[in-house]
Amino acid sequence: MNKGGFTLVEVIVVVAMIGILAIFAGPATLDWIQGAKRKEISRQAWSVLMDARAKAVSANLEHRAVFTLDGSAANNANSYLIQRFNGGAWEDVLSGVFTQNIEVRGKDSCDQTTGTVTINFKPNGTAPAATGDSYVCVMNESGAPKFKTGVVHSVTGRVAIQGWNGSAWK
């Protein structure tokens, strides 16, 4: 009888059980990590829009958020820019790049893949009437929409993140 520790058979059984659990948990963990990255980009887009709205109200000047979807504009792909309208011209206030390398698209239908998406805010915090292109969409690995962030009510300037459940935005 061994009172000093574990037997070799016990250690092998525990290691085998951990290996079996890792085999089954691995894909689920990867899916969870990818989902967290997509949520992070959606929250980052929401934060940029809320910041542009707050700056419009505090400065009493029109502001806009410009999201570059690809490298065709002056900014890098998956980048954003907050600008203010001051004296007849747009001035850059803040710029940045999304922290994750995940596909971002534009429009309410999430089918815009090039150019920019521009969302304006008036000095009272409202947004001009929705034109259908005031959303930033985060896509999943197969190119289907996962989340979209934008102004959901132009009269109040309310910004929200909506998730795609396979048949409708929620």
The CATH code for residues 9-163 is 3.55.40.10
**What phi, psi does 108 have (nearest 5°)?**
-65, -30
pLDDT at 167: 86
Cα separation of 81 and 65, whole Å? 6
pLDDT at 53: 96
DSSP, collapsed to helix, strand or coil, labels residue 91 as strand
pLDDT at 25: 83
pLDDT at 109: 87
pLDDT at 132: 59
- 93 Cβ neighbours under 8 A, 6+ residues apart: 55, 63, 82, 83, 84
Cα separation of 170 and 165, whole Å? 7
pLDDT at 77: 78
- What is the DSSP-derived secondary structure letter of residue 107? S
Which two three-digit tokens encode residue 21?
A: 């659990």
pLDDT at 120: 93
Half-sphere exposure of 98 (CA within 13 A, CB side): 27
Cα separation of 94 and 50, whole Å? 13
Low-confidence ranges of the chain (pLDDT < 50): none
CB 69 within 8 A of CB 113: yes
DSSP, collapsed to helix, strand or coil, labels residue 10 as helix
- 7 Cβ neighbours under 8 A, 6+ residues apart: none
- The one-letter amino acid code at 124 reads N
- Give the number of residues written for the chain: 170
